[in-house]
Structure 1
């Protein structure tokens, strides 16, 4: 099917930084699942579907580099807590998740992401209650229903309370069990093809819930299987103090020691990196998922995003779990990222186009897919968003990218993933939102019994 979108402002995000090709009035042509052409003025040739996008901005679909979809069923808890306090309160609640709860939460979370411009989501699922059933498969089935690309991170924890960790023993696995479960998930689900809608990554949760043996053995497993690696790192000062006490080094030094730096790795949060760590991450090409709203909600700090990017580290945006970001969309993260950067380094440190780049090409680089998604270029996957800027909230804003990033998130006229319609006129095509909301409410009520 040949789809022609024309009469729109277009931000291709085809550069290595904020500077990318833009058209004040241009077109995008989609042929089946790939982008055929992008340029100024009208498109050449016939169309099976022709879309007049007057008053709209076309961008690449957003790439969410870090999420915990199961947490959609536990929003509103631990509102004044630090990360460790938050985890201590919520781990016993999460011990109650099962397949139906996970599926309901994932459908709701992915629908929210899609309706706010996201075409690719990385979900880090690391809670596996012994009687929970196939929770990982339930999350993946939700992604198929909604219709966006999924990077499913098979997480793990093997360090429970009895071994000095934070999670209850009932939701941690043995070292061998975690490795076996991870290998099984890769063999069952991972699709490495360029147009893949489902890839699997290896993701031990964090230094304070995982043994050194699991971290190092999981890294070996990932590289043997040819998949990417993901974990939380340097999110809080509490984590750094614990790491110094237990290992005599910083979290970044520990990650380096255990084989967890490299161009096949992306780390969640990365707030408390010193100059040496940033230089090392840049030299190794290690990516960072920047989660500005979650970091703010938990008071964890402000990541040194500009320093990381300048050092050579790929940086993308993450919504993080909806238990630490009740909005749950990636759209708000663009503005939050720009504003936090300016709070840290002043108003000249970050532009609206920096925010858009982080949400698109930056995220694609984190996930190892910069040649496939993240920009509007011929030959790339047809993942794109058509944003309406003709409503009261945006009419008259001279710069369409500023309208998208700095203003209220605009309504979606259209969202395509691989050329297939995911959202049209604000409605997610694969989901009955009334039913999804009801299922989420029921799941949240069930989990509330564990609080």
Structure 2
């Protein structure tokens, strides 16, 4: 099927930063056939022509870090920092099962799609012994909603008895965690360029995972040719713990265990020394920047400009909805820009750099910048068409500034692999009222299982 979108402003986010005040984009099947200025040729056969006047066309956004199951536990631990927040929520997450996880993941993915996201990396590291196939439930939800999923098979093997943070009842033993990760790769990882499901290996964090699991997971990932992901350097408390326990900073610890390199991306990267930034840049280790979650938990402001200057790929992450109740990716562009300016001044980040972080930066973190992240001939047709005709954006002459500085615009259309996922700001794949109802039921059931009256 060939779809032609014309009359829109276009920000391609290609290497040259090419933009068109009025242009066209042609989608043929799952790929972009062409993009350029002005109208498409009148004689070009098309199954559908879309009037893009008053709209901005961008690549679909790439979410580099999320915890979709947390959609069932929004609003908890509202005043807590990270460690106290986790301590409050671990017992609640112990009640996760397939139905709750599927309802939470479906709602979270719909929200991401409605905020321009066409690819989401989800880090699932909580596997109660009686919970069932939680990773499979999340993958099923992504297929239903219609966007790409990088499912990170997480793990924890270091409970409180071993000096870790999670309760012992919620961790796996090392061999079980590695076996579960290997099974996920065998079952679901799709290596094709058009893939809608890829698996990554993701031990949770230094305060919930043993060194044996970290090194074993790295060996497993590299043997299977998949990427590695973990939380690192999120809080100052984590750095203090690493220094006290291992005699080094979190980045030094990660490097010691083989957790730096072009096949690794790390969540947060807030508390980084100049040496750590150089290490991440030299090794091309990626960072998922989660500005709203970092602010919600009071973790700090990541040194994004310094990381980019050092050569480290940086993308944006919404993070779990229990530490970012908005749960969308669109607002993270503005949050990233504003936090960069709070750290480095008004020139530290502009609208186009924020858009790059959400697209090409994220694609680079996931190892898919050859396929995703820009509007170029031959790339996958993951495309967002933003409507800028409302009062929120009227009079803003620069459409990219309207997108990033202004209120998040409604989506006229969102395509993932050429398939319509959102049209006129509603899901084309699921009934949103049904998804909301299922989420409400799942959240209430999870709270009851934890003995919480809400």
TM-score (norm 1): 0.99
- Structure 1 residue 36: Cα displacement: 0.5
Matched, 1:35 2:29: no
Residues 374-424 of structure 1: per-residue CA shift (max 9 Å, x gap): 000000000000000001111110100000011000000000000000000
- Structure 1 residue 437: Cα displacement: 0.7
Residue number in structure 1 paired with 2:243: 244
C-alpha distance in 2 between matches for 1:131 and 1:35: 44
Q: How does 1:139-288 map to 2 (within 5 A)?
A: 139-288=138-287
Residues 194-236 of structure 1: per-residue CA shift (max 9 Å, x gap): 0000000000000000000000110000000000000000000
Q: How does 1:360-399 map to 2 (within 5 A)?
A: 360-399=359-398
Please identify runs of 4+ aligned residues in structure 1 that moved more than 2 A.
none
Root-mean-square deviation (CA), in Å? 0.6
Matched, 1:59 2:58: yes
Residue number in structure 2 paired with 1:13: 13
Q: How does 1:14-163 map to 2 (within 5 A)?
A: 14-15=14-15, 20-44=17-41, 45-163=44-162
C-alpha distance in 1 between matches for 2:177 and 2:169: 14
C-alpha distance in 2 between matches for 1:319 and 1:84: 19
C-alpha distance in 2 between matches for 1:55 and 1:130: 52
- Structure 1 residue 4: Cα displacement: 0.4
C-alpha distance in 1 between matches for 2:150 and 2:170: 23
Q: How does 1:349-364 map to 2 (within 5 A)?
A: 349-364=348-363
Residue number in structure 1 paired with 2:288: 289
Residues 18-74 of structure 1: per-residue CA shift (max 9 Å, x gap): x61000000000000000001000112121100011000000000000000000000
Residue number in structure 1 paired with 2:337: 338
Matched, 1:406 2:410: no
- Structure 1 residue 6: Cα displacement: 0.2
C-alpha distance in 2 between matches for 1:410 and 1:182: 39
What are structure 2's unaligned runs of at least 5 residues? none
C-alpha distance in 1 between matches for 2:325 and 2:142: 20
Residues 77-100 of structure 1: per-residue CA shift (max 9 Å, x gap): 001100000000000000000000
C-alpha distance in 2 between matches for 1:186 and 1:168: 27
SS of residue paired to 1:363: helix
C-alpha distance in 2 between matches for 1:189 and 1:326: 29
C-alpha distance in 1 between matches for 2:39 and 2:250: 52
Residues 89-118 of structure 1: per-residue CA shift (max 9 Å, x gap): 000000000000000000000000001100
Residue number in structure 2 paired with 1:303: 302
C-alpha distance in 2 between matches for 1:324 and 1:349: 25
TM-score (norm 2): 0.98
- Structure 1 residue 171: Cα displacement: 1.4
- Structure 1 residue 190: Cα displacement: 0.1
Residues 167-196 of structure 1: per-residue CA shift (max 9 Å, x gap): 111211000000000000000000010000
- Structure 1 residue 446: Cα displacement: 1.2
Residues 325-351 of structure 1: per-residue CA shift (max 9 Å, x gap): 000000000000000000001001110
C-alpha distance in 2 between matches for 1:159 and 1:334: 35
C-alpha distance in 1 between matches for 2:73 and 2:162: 26
C-alpha distance in 1 between matches for 2:159 and 2:433: 38
C-alpha distance in 1 between matches for 2:425 and 2:410: 6
What are structure 1's unaligned runs of at least 5 residues? none
C-alpha distance in 1 between matches for 2:408 and 2:160: 42
